[in-house]
Amino acid sequence: MLIGAVADDLTGATDLALMLTSGGMRTIQVMGIPEDPAVLTEYDAVVVALKSRTIPATEAVEGSLASARALRQAGSRQLIFKYCSTFDSTDEGNIGPVAAALAGLTGTDLTIACPAFPTNGRTIYMGNLFVGELPLAESPMRDHPLTPMRDSNLVRVLQRQTQMKVGLVPFHVVARGPDAIRSAFDDARDRGDGILIVDAITDENLRDIGAAVSDFELITGGSGIALGLAANFAATGDFTPAEPPDRMTALPGRAAILAGSCSQATRGQVKAAVDGGIPAYQIDPRALADGSQSADGVVEWAIAQPAADPVLIYSSDDPDAVAAAQAALGREAAGQAVERALAEIARGLVATGFKRMIVAGGETSGAVVGALGVTVLEIGPQIDPGVPWTRAVGASNEAADGMVLALKSGNFGSNDFFNKAWNILTES
Ligand SMILES: Nc1ncnc2c1ncn2[C@@H]1O[C@H](COP(=O)(O)OP(=O)(O)OP(=O)(O)O)[C@@H](O)[C@H]1O
Ligand SMILES: O=C(O)[C@@H](O)C(=O)CO
């Protein structure tokens, strides 16, 4: 194994795994701390998906260290710590504490922090993160329920989370290419910096940064930072890039979309699917709580729809409706009611022969994949930047083994994602 990665959420892990696959690396995604490192050795890259973005920092550190140890035991030569391209975190962590712990494990005196993902509109200039045209703190991430991002300057944000000295490699250096970036690393070491926010606006910047960190044992960032890493190993002859897949075979069986994300992108995708005529059922946390809707009832509805069509089951709603449900039930209870229902619905659908599933939202994906007992995902073709088709190649639920899943980050995907994703699947 060449690259081992620890990702702080499930859809984020899939995003990174797709980037590595696109670089020609044979990549798998493992759910949770790997129990048997020996089985990981036959891949070029392994991404461990944790659910550590918003848990207490001590637990995030513990899970990340255990995962990194397993990856290193399996022979990983370079470690990536993957977090969100919008740097989702609080002043208490978890990006700083996990990065510092992994630096300790790998004996690293200098690493980088680069969440840039230009294809999806995340760019960094003078340490400030932009989401599309907006500085992070003026983007919708300002009001994220768990990790509100109210400061766009990542040097400041990260310095509040760590005792490592945080520095910056500014754009005018990055624009001069790998040698200039390497020389900025030397200067940073002399200053005593431990971690550097690195500006990046284009994919070319990311490739140059990738070349400059070829000898780093630890790299931290979004999926974009992996853009240039496969090329380093190909250049030294450590592996021969495989052609990334452009289609994926899928077992015969019915298709469903389960959407628990309420992001603007997902709500647009739900509307496009409904407008396009996909049979759709909206679940509501209050109806689930008072028993007027049930997972069994939704599964019965789905079975009764024309078998040739995908079915859409969604809780996605606009911010006012979400706020009203949260006011009635409590924020956590409203979310849990939806997650539990979608997980149970997924189990019910798979038990009746559904074999193809799109799940929208990181928390929602975690609940669904957990309920299906999926432990390992093989990475297939890109549907849209950051979202591939995957196949469950390890699942404790026999009916889920071999099924295909697309786990979509809330904010990712084009408007017609739910309509078009099926077109790159072929019958096995
Ligand atoms: N109608 C609703 N009312 C209240 N809460 C809801 C509703 N629909 C979904 N939720 C909850 O909102 C949360 C959405 O989080 P999720 O991580 O799935 O999506 P996201 O934050 O858009 O995606 P990502 O983490 O990939 O960016 C879940 O806990 C879900 O159960
Ligand atoms: O980096 C991103 O934006 C995504 O992979 C993600 O982590 C969403 O939760």
* Per-residue pLDDT tens over the stretch 111-129: 999 999 999 999 999 999 9
The predicted model gives 366-379 an average pLDDT of 95
Q: Quote the CA–CA distance of 346 and 371 in Å, as a whole number.
A: 8
List pLDDT tens digits, range 81-111: 999 999 999 999 999 999 999 999 999 999 9
Q: For residue 39, what pLDDT is reported?
A: 80
What is the best residue among 264, 409, 411 to mutate for testing ligand 2's pocket, by most ligand atoms within 8 Å of CB?
Answer: 409
- What is the secondary structure of 152-165 as a DSSP string? -BHHHHHHTT-SSP
Q: How many CB atoms lie within 10 A of CB 142?
A: 16
For residue 330, how far is its CA from the centre of ligand 2 (angstroms)? 26
Give the number of other Cβ atoms within 10 Å of residue 38's Cβ. Answer: 9
Question: E strands, 162-233, where?
Answer: 166-169, 195-198, 218-221
Residue 296 backbone phi and psi in degrees, to 5: -60, -40
Q: Which residue has the tokens 């990046």?
A: 200
Q: At what angle do helices 95-106 and 57-73 cross, to 10 degrees?
A: 30
N residues, the chain: 428
269 lines ligand 1 (CB under 6 A): no
3-state secondary structure of 48: strand
Residue type, 147: T
Indicate which ligand has the atom closest to the C-alpha of 266: 1
Which pLDDT tens digit goes with each residue over 313-354? 999 999 899 999 999 999 889 999 999 999 999 999 999 999
The number of beta carbons lying within 10 Å of the beta carbon of residue 249 is: 12
Tell me the sheet residues that pair with 29. Answer: 47, 377
Measure the CA–CA gap between 107 and 87, rounded to whole angstroms: 24
Q: Would the CB of 362 count as within 6 Å of ligand 2? A: yes
Position in ligand 2 atom list of the atom nearest CA 122: 3
What are the pLDDT digits (tens) for 251-272? 999 999 999 999 889 999 999 9
CA-closest residue to ligand 1 atom 31: 335
Amino acid 378: pLDDT:
95
- In the three-class reduction of DSSP (H, G, I as helix; E, B as strand; rest coil), residue 189 is classed as helix
Q: Is the CB of 363 under 6 A from ligand 2?
A: no
CA distance linking residue 427 with residue 328, whole number of Å: 45
Asked if 264 and 140 count as a contact pair (C-beta separation under 8 A), the reply is yes
Neighbouring C-beta atoms of residue 237, cutoff 10 Å: 7
State the DSSP H helix or E strand holding residue 340, giving kind and residue range, or none if neither: helix 331-351
**Other CB atoms closer than 10 Å to residue 19's CB: what's the count?**
32
The side-by-side arrangement of strands in the sheet containing 128-131 is: 122-125, 128-131, 134-135
pLDDT (tens digit, 9 = 90+) per residue, 142-178? 887 678 899 999 999 999 999 999 999 999 999 999 9
Domain positions in the chain are: 3-235, 248-427
Q: Which of 85, 154, 263 to probe ligand 2 with, by most ligand atoms within 8 A of CB?
A: 85
State the fold for domain 248-427.
Molybdenum Cofactor Biosythetic Enzyme; Chain A (3.40.980)
DSSP H helices in 385-428: 417-420
Q: Could you tell me the distance, in angstroms and rounded to a whole number, from the CA of residue 207 to the centre of ligand 1?
A: 33
CA of 15 to the centre of ligand 2 (A): 7
Q: Is 54 in the pocket of ligand 2 (CB under 6 A)?
A: no
Which are the contacts of 187, defined by CB distance < 8 A and separation ≥ 6?
none
Q: Are 261 and 410 in contact (CB under 8 A)?
A: yes
What distances in angstroms separate CA 140 from CA 130, 136, 137, 330, 332, one per listed residue?
Answer: 11, 8, 8, 22, 20
List 357's β-bridge partners, or say none.
256, 405
Q: What is the pLDDT of residue 391?
A: 96
- Rounded mean pLDDT, 376-382: 96
- Using DSSP's 3-state secondary structure scheme, residue 355 falls into strand
Q: What is the pLDDT of residue 395?
A: 83
Structure tokens at 349: 């659908």
Within a 10 A sphere around the Cβ of 398, how many other Cβ atoms? 9
Report phi then psi at 171, rounded to 5: -55, -40
Rounded average pLDDT over 56-84: 97
The topology under which CATH files domain 3-235 is Rossmann fold (3.40.50)
Dihedral Cα 350, 353, 354, 356, nearest 10 deg: 110
Atom of ligand 1 nearest to the CA of 317: 1
